[in-house]
Amino acid sequence: MPAIALPAIKDFIDKRAKSYAPQLKVVYSQGAAPRLRLIGPSGSESVRIDNWKAANIIEFLEERLERPGIAMA
């Protein structure tokens, strides 16, 4: 399922994904449902995001990623 068929996910990738680098890497896999895969010292987590809006993706990443220069609550 290409990201083009999912406008909210394509919008996030085009407009916001770079702001999460280097912790976020976009990888295209033909025929696969879109997922966020988190890999860290405490293990890994994989979540399907095909029904998510850009705001949901942002909220999920803000809760789970540490970004340099941004204070965590």
User: Domain locations in the chain?
Assistant: 3-64
CATH 3.30.70 describes domain 3-64: no
- Select from 9, 65, 64 the least CA-distant residue to 35: 9
pLDDT one-digit tens code per residue, 6-59: 899 999 999 999 999 888 889 999 999 999 998 888 889 899 999 999 999 999
* Confidence (pLDDT) at 6: 87
Measured CA to CA, the distance from residue 22 to residue 9 in angstroms comes to 19
Measured CA to CA, the distance from residue 35 to residue 32 in angstroms comes to 9
- CB-based contact 1:31 (threshold 8 Å): yes
